[in-house]
Amino acid sequence: MIAVDQSLIRNFCIIAHIDHGKSTLADRILQATGAIEERAMRDQVLDSMDLERERGITIKAQAVRVPYRAADGLLYQLNLIDTPGHVDFSYEVSRSLAACEGALLVVDAAQGIEAQTLANAYLAIEGDLELVPVVNKIDLPAADPDTHARAVSELVGGRPEDVLRISAKTGEGIDAVLEAIVEHVPPPRGRPDAPARALIFDSVYDQYRGVVAFARVVDGVLARGARLRAMRTGVTFLCEEVGYLAPEMTPIERLGAGETGYLITGLKDLGDVRVGDTLTVDAEPGKEPLAGYHEPKPMVFCGLFPVDADEYPSLREALERLSLNDASLVWEPETSHALGFGFRCGFLGLLHMEILRERLEREYDLDLLATTPNVEYAVRDTAGRRLSVRSPVDLPPPNQIESIAEPYIRATILVPHDLVGAVMGLCQERRGRFVTMEAIEQRQQVVYDVPLAEVVLHFYDQLKSRTSGYASLDYEPVGDRESPLVKLDILLAGDPVDALSQIVHRDLAYGRGKMLVERLRKTIPRHMFEVPIQAAIGGRIVARETVKAKRKDVLAKCYGGDISRKRKLLERQKKGKRRMKQVGAVEVPQEAFLSVLEIGDDG
Amino acid sequence: MTVSRGVRHLYVHLPFCAARCGYCAFVVEVGRLARRDAYLDALVVEIELERSRLGSLDTLYLGGGTPTLMRPRRIARLLAHLRTTLAPGAEITIEANPETVDRRQLEALCGAGVTRLSLGVQSFQEHLLGRLDRAATPEMARAAFRCARAVGFRSISIDLLFGVPGQSPGDVERDVEAALDLGPDHLSWYELELKPGSALQRAAVTLPDEDEVADAYRGIVGRLEREGYRWYETANFARDGHECRHSLAYWRAADYLGVGVGAVSTVDGIRWRNASGLDAYFSALASARPPRRSAESLDADVRRRERWMLGLRLDRPLDLAWAGPPDHPEAIDELRDRGLVAGDGEGDGFRLTREGRFVQNAVLGRLMEFV
C-alpha cells in the first residue's frame, strides 16, 4: 500500500475565543462527515475529561481524522486538531498550530473579536497558517454578522463577503466550511521519500498501553513494528501500533507524510517522548529534528498540603499520576512549619491550578489546603548569587537581598470604549504599566504590562466584574523586571505562619496587610483565649486585629436521655475541628488560607 | 459474690401534651389524652418487668411531656404502687406547666407524696412566651407558683430560658427579678438551643448575638449567686439543700432506670432507649414484653469521657480517682495559666474556675479526645 496522496490531506485546527463555539463546530464537522453516528453523538465529543465538560473548556489537544467527499468528487482526509481555548494554555495552542497548515478562525456573531481571537490569530499568522475566517452563531437574535465579518476580514485580510457565516448549533453553513477547508487550506508539502520525521504535538499516558504519542508526520513514513527513535531524548522503542482517531482509536499499518495520528510506544515514562520532540526511524534517521516548542514553563506556584497529615503519601501518588499526563505540572516536596508536609506545585496559570486541585480532590478523594499562589522571583543576594524563589518562605532576609525581579506579562484587553476607564483603573491598581491603546472594531484594545503576581490574584475575575463581562483578556510573558518587593508575614498569637506569608510590592504591603488581618479575623473562630492577628513587614508590625476570646461555650442541658446525644455532639464537633489546621495553639479553618487569596474591590 | 444494691433513680416519662412548643424536640404525644390512664397501667407493667434491677429508690422523677395533664388520682396510684420501693426521704419530683395546674390537683399531688415541683415557666415576658408557643401567661405562672407554695410544696423549681430570639438584655433582667420575687428554691435556666425537629429550628430563626447571650448568661449567674443561690451545675441554681438529687445522679454518672415511651436507662454499662411510638408501647406491654429498645454498650473509654463531660458541669471538684485521667494531661498547665482550671487532682481535686465554667466545652475539648 502506498502512502496517501498529500494533495488529499488537510490538517487544520479551530481557533476561537472561549465560548465562541469551537467545540460545537468541531462536533458538527464530525457529524457532517459521518465520522460519528448521530445517536452516538454526545455533545462536544472532543472534550473527554469530565472537568472539561463542566467548565466548557478544552484542556488537551487531540486530533481526529474525518473522511470528506468534496464537491470536486474526491475523497479527502481531514485532520482536525483541537486547541485549548483558555489563556492558561496558549502554549498548547501554539503546538497544535504547528501540526496544521490552516485554521478556522471562529468569531461569535454577537460578540465579535475578543482578546483570544486576536492572540490566536497572530499566533497562526506567525506560524504561516492559512486562516479561514468564520462568523458563528448567526442564529442568535443579537447576531450582527456583517459588522463582525468586516472586522475579521480586516484582521486576516480578504473581503468581508468571503467570511463564512454559519451556525454550528443549527448546522447552517457547515458544508461551506468543509469546502473552504479543502479549497483554502494548503495540502501538506512534506517529502514522502525522505527519512521519516514526525512532530510530537501531544502525548498521553494510558494505564494499559503506556505512552501514546500524537504526531504529525512531515517527511517519510512511520510504520507499525518499526523501531523508532525520539531524536532529542535519544530513546528508542518498538512501535506497537499506529493509527488515527475517528474519533475512537483506529489502527492502520502506517502513517505517511502529511498525515496525523497516534503511535503506541510501549514506553512507561512520558518524559521519554516529549511533546515537541521529533520521531524518526531508528535504522534510517532524519538528519535534523524539526523545530520543536519551548518547554512549558510553570508560571504560578502554590503549596498543596493534605488537611490530614496521613494523606501525604496519597497526595504524592496522585501528583505522580497526574504528572504522567501533564508535563506542565511540576512539584517538589515542601515542609511548612504551620501546615506540615506537602508539595510546592507549579502550574501554567490559575485555571490550570484550579483544575488540578479539583482533580486531586475529586478523583483522588483528598482534602487539600492550598496556600496563596505566587510566582517565581529572581533574587540576587548581596553575595552576588542568583536564586529562584518559588515560595515566600525561601526569600532571604531583607538585609541579604540586593534585588528582586518578578515576571511580567503583557495583558491585551479588548473592551468597549466606555469601559476603558475601569480597565485602566484595575491595571493601575495592579501595578500595571501602560503600553499602547488602539481602536479595533467598536472597541479599544488596551495593552498593559502587569506583574504576573498581581494577575494571579483574581485579576481576571475583577476584570470581568468591573466590565460586566465585556472585557476579554489574553496575555503572554514578557520577562522579569526588578521591583521593590518585600515579604509580608502574618502572625497568629504572636507566631509567624509561614503558609500565610506573601511577597508584595512595598507600596501595597501596608494595605494588603491591613486587609489580610481583617479577613482572617472574620474567618478564625473564637478560642478560649484572645487571638491577636498581626501583619508584619521585616519584623515591623503594620496591622493588627484580634479575635475575641470565647465568653460562653456550654451545652445548655444535659440529662439522662441526653447524655449519649451530647457525647456524640462533642464527637462531631471534634471531627469538625479535624478539618482545621492546628497552628500553634490556634485552630485555623481552611477558609482562612483561601481568604488570603481573595482580593475584591476592597483590596 | 458481689451484691448489687440496685438502681436508685427512676425516671418516668409522661409524654402527653396539649400542643407542641416551638423549641421542643422531646418525645411527646399531642391530642391523645384519652389513653393517659391506660398509659399509666402500661408503665406499671414496664416497672414490674424491670423490678429486679431496682434497689431502694432515692429519687423518682416524673417528667414529660406535661405530667400535670395526668389525673392526680392516677399519679397517686402510681406512687402508691412504688411506696415500698421508695427509700425514706426520697425525692419525688413532678414537672408542671402553669396553665395545667389548679389548687385541687396540687393538693392531691402534695398529699400523694410528691416532694418537689418543677414549674415550666420559660419566661415572664408575654412576647417571648408567644414566640415559644407557651400557653401560659406570666400571671398564670405566678399564680401556679404561689398556689404550690400554699398547698405545702417545700421545694419548688422554676425553668427559664435565655438566648430566645427577640429577647433583649432588659427582658432577661426582668425575668431574673420576676423569678426572684417568687422566691423559688431552685432554678433551671437554659440557653435556648435550636434542636433538630423543633419548629423554631425549621423556621430558621436567627439566634441573638453570641456576645449578647454570653452577657445574659453571666448576668443571670451573677445575680442569682448574689441572692444566695449556688450555681451548682451549668444551668442549675439552688438554695442549700434544694439541689435536684435526681439530676445530680445523671451528672455523677450513676445508674438510672427510665420507663415510658422514649425513656432512656443506663444500668451496668449499658444504655438503652425505649422506642418512641405510643401504640407499639401499648401493644408490647399488653403482652408483658418490654418495648422495642435500642441499646449501646458504654466501654471504659466512653464512660471516662462521659464522666469528664458530666463532672465538669458541676461546681464541685472532679475526683480524678473516679473520673479517670484526661486524654491530654499536658493541656492542664496551659489551661491553668489561662485561668480556666484550678487544682491539681490532689487534695483540692481538679475543677474549673468560674471563667472556665463559662467555656467548659472548649476546656473539655482540650482535655479529652471524643473520637
CB contact under 8 A, A552 and B359: yes
Neighbours of B254 (CB within 10 A): 16
Residue A89 host element (H or E): none
pLDDT band at A16; cut points 50, 70, 90: confident
**CATH for the A6-184 domain, from 3.40.50.300, 3.30.360.10, 3.50.50.60, 3.30.479.30:** 3.40.50.300
> Residues with Cβ < 8 Å from A386, sequence gap 6 or more?
A378, A379, A380
Most confident of A85-94, B15-24, B268-277: B268-277
As a whole number, mean pLDDT of residues A154-181 equals 91
- A570 contact residues in B (CB cutoff 8 A): 309, 361, 364-365, 370
Can you give the pLDDT at residue B68? 93
Nearest to A547 by CA among A565, A529, A564, A560: A529
- Which DSSP symbol is given to A3? P
pLDDT band at B75; cut points 50, 70, 90: very high
The domain at A378-483 falls in which architecture?
2-Layer Sandwich (3.30)
Q: How far is CA A188 from the centre of its chain?
A: 30
- Tell me what percent of the residues of chain B surpass a pLDDT of 70: 97
Residue A59 has pLDDT above 80, yes or no: no
pLDDT tens track for A430-454: 999 999 999 987 789 999 999 999 8
- A586 contact residues in B (CB cutoff 8 A): none
Cα separation, B24 vs B192, whole angstroms? 10
Can you give the pLDDT at residue B346? 60
Which residue from A minimizes the CA distance to B215?
A551
Residue B360 has pLDDT above 90, yes or no: yes
pLDDT tens track for A537-546: 988 999 999 9
As a whole number, mean pLDDT of residues B135-156 equals 96
Identify which has the larger pLDDT, A91 or A100.
Answer: A100
pLDDT band at A57; cut points 50, 70, 90: very low
Which residues face A587 on adjacent strands?
A: A582
- Is residue B290 classed exposed, middle or buried when 0-12, 13-18 and 19+ CB atoms within 10 A define those classes? middle
Q: Determine contact: A74 vs chain B, CB below 8 A.
A: no
Cα separation, A108 vs A216, whole angstroms? 30
Can you give the pLDDT at residue A542? 94
Cα separation, B16 vs A358, whole angstroms? 53
CB contact under 8 A, B305 and A559: no
Can you give the pLDDT at residue A55? 46
Nearest to B14 by CA among B283, B271, B281, B247: B281
- Mean pLDDT, all residues of chain A: 85
Given this structure, which CATH class describes domain A197-281?
A: mainly beta
Nearest to A369 by CA among A329, A392, A341: A341
Nearest to B291 by CA among B309, B306, B311, B276: B276
The domain at A486-595 falls in which architecture?
2-Layer Sandwich (3.30)
CB contact under 8 A, A570 and B264: no
- Tell me what percent of the residues of chain A surpass a pLDDT of 70: 89
pLDDT tens track for B211-224: 999 999 999 999 99
Nearest to B315 by CA among B200, B207, B232: B232
- List strand residue ranges (DSSP E) for A538-591, in order: 540-547, 580-583, 586-589
**Dihedral sign computed on CA atoms, order B143, B149, B150, B151:** positive
Across A18-27, A45-54, A351-360, B189-198, least confident range = A45-54
Radius of gyration of chain B (CA): 21
Can you give the pLDDT at residue A116? 79
Can you give the pLDDT at residue A56? 42
Domain boundaries A300-370, corresponding CATH code: 3.30.70.870
Can you give the pLDDT at residue A164? 93
Q: Are A356 and A345 in contact (CB under 8 A)?
A: yes
Residue A596 has pLDDT above 90, yes or no: no
- Domain ranges for chain A: 6-184, 197-281, 300-370, 378-483, 486-595
Can you give the pLDDT at residue A4? 76
pLDDT tens track for B236-267: 999 999 999 999 999 999 999 999 999 999 99
Identify which has the larger pLDDT, A571 or B74.
Answer: B74
Q: Determine contact: A564 vs chain B, CB below 8 A.
A: yes
Phi, psi of A90 (to 5 degrees): -60, -25
Can you give the pLDDT at residue A568? 87
Find the Cα–Cα–Cα–Cα dihedral B78, B83, B84, B89, rounded to 10°. Answer: 140
pLDDT tens track for B147-180: 999 999 999 999 999 999 999 999 999 999 999 9
pLDDT band at B90; cut points 50, 70, 90: very high
Q: Determine contact: A539 vs chain B, CB below 8 A.
A: no
CB contact under 8 A, B340 and A528: yes
- A555 contact residues in B (CB cutoff 8 A): 234, 361
Three cell numbers written together for A289: 529534528
Which residue from B minimizes the CA distance to A551?
B214
Identify which has the larger pLDDT, A34 or B351.
Answer: B351
B 158-217 near A (Cβ less than 8 A): 190-193, 210-211, 213-215, 217
Closest-CA distance of chain B to residue A340, Å = 21
- B361 contact residues in A (CB cutoff 8 A): 553-555, 570, 573
Q: How large is the ipTM?
A: 0.90
Q: Determine contact: A434 vs chain B, CB below 8 A.
A: no
Residue B302 host element (H or E): helix B300-311
> Residues with Cβ < 8 Å from A94, sequence gap 6 or more?
A123, A127, A293
Fold of the B7-251 domain: TIM Barrel (3.20.20)
Number of residues assigned to chain B: 371
Interface test mutation site (partner A, options B353, B361, B371, max chain A beta carbons within 10 A): B361
Across A173-177, A295-299, A581-585, least confident range = A295-299
> Where are the CATH 1.10.10 domain residues in chain B?
300-367
Can you give the pLDDT at residue A270? 77
Closest-CA distance of chain B to residue A525, Å = 12
- B310 contact residues in A (CB cutoff 8 A): 558, 563
Identify which has the larger pLDDT, B337 or A440.
Answer: B337
As a whole number, mean pLDDT of residues A191-207 equals 88
- B217 contact residues in A (CB cutoff 8 A): 552
Q: Are A169 and A189 in contact (CB under 8 A)?
A: no
> Where are the CATH 3.20.20.70 domain residues in chain B?
7-251
Can you give the pLDDT at residue A468? 82
Cα separation, A451 vs A296, whole angstroms? 19
Q: Which of B214, B251, B306 sits opposite A552 (nearest CB)?
A: B214
Can you give the pLDDT at residue A470? 82
- Is residue B371 classed exposed, middle or buried when 0-12, 13-18 and 19+ CB atoms within 10 A define those classes? exposed
Residue A37 has pLDDT above 80, yes or no: no
As a whole number, mean pLDDT of residues A237-251 equals 89
Q: Which of B302, B310, B366 sits opposite A558 (nearest CB)?
A: B310
Helix, strand or coil, per DSSP, at residue B56? strand
pLDDT tens track for A564-578: 888 888 888 877 776
**CATH for the B300-367 domain, from 3.40.50, 2.60.40, 1.10.10, 3.30.70:** 1.10.10
Residue A54 has pLDDT above 80, yes or no: no
Q: Please provide the DSSP assignment of A121-133 as one string.
A: HHHHHHTTPEEEE
Can you give the pLDDT at residue A86? 54
CB contact under 8 A, B214 and A551: yes
Can you give the pLDDT at residue A544? 96
CB contact under 8 A, A567 and B302: yes
- Which DSSP symbol is given to A394? G
Cα separation, A150 vs A156, whole angstroms? 10
pLDDT tens track for A352-361: 888 888 889 8
Which residue from A minimizes the CA distance to B161?
A556
CB contact under 8 A, B361 and A573: yes
Q: Determine contact: B44 vs chain A, CB below 8 A.
A: no
Nearest to B304 by CA among B279, B339, B269, B342: B269
Which residue from A minimizes the CA distance to B253?
A560
pTM score above 0.90: no
Cα separation, B74 vs A71, whole angstroms? 101
Closest-CA distance of chain A to residue B198, Å = 16
Helix, strand or coil, per DSSP, at residue B301? helix
Q: Determine contact: B359 vs chain A, CB below 8 A.
A: yes
Can you give the pLDDT at residue A603? 38
As a whole number, mean pLDDT of residues A384-410 equals 92
Can you give the pLDDT at residue A84? 58
- Mean pLDDT, all residues of chain B: 92
Q: Spell A367-378 as b/e; 16+ CB within 10 A means b.
A: ebbbbbbbbbbb
pLDDT band at B1; cut points 50, 70, 90: very low
